[in-house]
């Protein structure tokens, strides 16, 4: 068992709901698996550098070859810029490939994901990184992905803002495209996180409290799935 835990909230204080939820999940996971591998990255405190030209040119060279084993990519690096970009990318890709569970704290920022999380996504999404080079089979099919977030407003099904949610649909589409089985995806969001702060939203505070309580309970349920198979053959 191994867990890759990513936080991306810019708010590193105790007020961050997404960080509270991921800590809740991670604590339970680590209690259940005290000797297992646990890796943590704070994408706000230690941001992943945005991809640059060397990443793009090396990626294009790999694309032209129709698939290259991950261990052979570095040999194709043609200059110092490409070697630097690959040195930044390979460890992050290895972490993702090696994780049984990926836990992501992802608050909604301006209808989408925080810039730190997007930079991580861009860097780990290297051509062919999650496909078996011999069979083309998806290497992340059995990986469990748990996304825990918070939104300032209400964007759930049936709300007026439902169509402006470019947060959960984006992350769902991204991980499915990388080969994660849809059944292995979990999304939990606490809604109306700004209700406690904004006077004009005071009437929504009871609803916000219920949403946070539901998110905490859903996080506990997701953590309770640890060690169970969500898809046939899951590791």
- What CATH code is carried by the domain that includes residue 177? 3.40.50.360
**pLDDT interval class at 18 (50, 70, 90):** very high
Is 230 a residue whose pLDDT tops 70?
Answer: no
- Residues comprising the binding site? 9, 16-18, 108-111
Note the Cα 20 to chain centre separation in Å.
Answer: 16
pLDDT band of residue 67 (cuts 50, 70, 90) is confident
- pLDDT (tens digit per residue) in 31-52: 999 999 999 999 999 999 999 9
Residue 70 has pLDDT above 60, yes or no: yes
Q: Check residues 138 and 230 and name the one with the higher pLDDT.
A: 138
pLDDT tens profile 189-225: 999 999 988 998 899 999 999 999 999 999 999 998 8
Determine the pLDDT at residue 139. Answer: 96
Question: b/e map of 44-79 (b: 16 or more CB within 10 Å)?
Answer: beebbeebeebbebbbebbeeeeebebeebeeebee
Residue 232 has pLDDT above 60, yes or no: no
Q: How far is residue 94's CA from residue 11's CA, in Å, rounded to a whole number?
A: 27
CA atoms within 13 A on the CB side of 209: 6
In a domain, 15, yes or no: yes
Confidence at residue 174, expressed as pLDDT on a 0 to 100 scale: 98
Residue 132 lies in a domain: no
Place of tokens 């294009």: 60
Q: Identify which of 68, 156, 79, 84 has the alpha carbon closest to the alpha carbon of residue 123.
A: 84
Q: What is the pTM of this model?
A: 0.92
Residue 177 has pLDDT above 60, yes or no: yes
Q: Residue 42 contacts by C-beta under 8 Å, 6 or more apart in sequence?
A: 7, 12
Specify the pLDDT at position 227: 58
Greater confidence (54 vs 14) lies with 54
Q: What is the pLDDT of residue 226?
A: 72
Residue 76 within a domain = no
Question: Could you tell me which residues are annotated as the binding site for FMN?
Answer: 9, 16-18, 108-111
In a domain, 97, yes or no: yes
Number of Cβ within 10 Å of residue 125's Cβ equals 17
Range of the domain at 195: 2-43+88-125+138-224
Mean pLDDT over residues 84-88, rounded? 98
Identify the pLDDT of residue 221.
93
In-domain check, residue 170:
yes
* Each residue's pLDDT tens digit, 110-131: 999 999 999 999 999 999 999 9
Task: Please indicate, yes or no, if residue 113 is contained in any of the structural domains.
Answer: yes
What tokens does 230 get? 């969500």
Average pLDDT over residues 12-19: 94
Specify the number of domains making up the chain: 1
Q: Is residue 181 part of a domain?
A: yes
DSSP state of 186: E
Residue 101 lies in a domain: yes
């Amino acid at each position: 068992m191994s867990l890759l835990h990513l936080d991306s909230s810019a708010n590193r204080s105790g007020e961050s709901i997404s960080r509270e939820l991921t800590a809740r999940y991670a604590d339970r996971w680590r209690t259940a698996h005290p000797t297992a591998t646990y890796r943590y990255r704070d994408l706000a405190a230690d941001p992943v550098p945005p991809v640059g030209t060397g990443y793009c040119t090396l990626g294009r060279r790999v694309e032209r070859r129709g698939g290259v084993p991950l261990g052979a990519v570095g040999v194709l690096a043609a200059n110092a810029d490409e070697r630097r970009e690959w040195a930044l990318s390979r460890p992050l890709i290895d972490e993702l490939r090696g994780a049984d569970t990926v836990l992501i704290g992802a608050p909604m920022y301006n209808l989408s994901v925080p810039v730190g999380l997007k930079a991580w996504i861009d860097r780990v999404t290297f051509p062919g990184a999650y496909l078996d080079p011999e069979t083309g089979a998806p290497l992340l099919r059995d990986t469990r992905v748990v996304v825990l977030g918070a939104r300032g407003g209400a964007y759930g099904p049936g709300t007026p803002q439902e169509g402006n949610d470019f947060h959960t649909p984006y992350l769902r589409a991204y991980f499915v495209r990388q080969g994660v089985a849809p059944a292995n995806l979990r999304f939990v969001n606490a809604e109306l996180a700004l209700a406690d702060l904004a006077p004009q939203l005071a009437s929504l505070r009871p609803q916000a409290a219920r949403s946070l309580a539901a998110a905490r309970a859903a996080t506990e349920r997701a953590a309770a799935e640890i060690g169970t198979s969500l898809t046939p053959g899951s590791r």
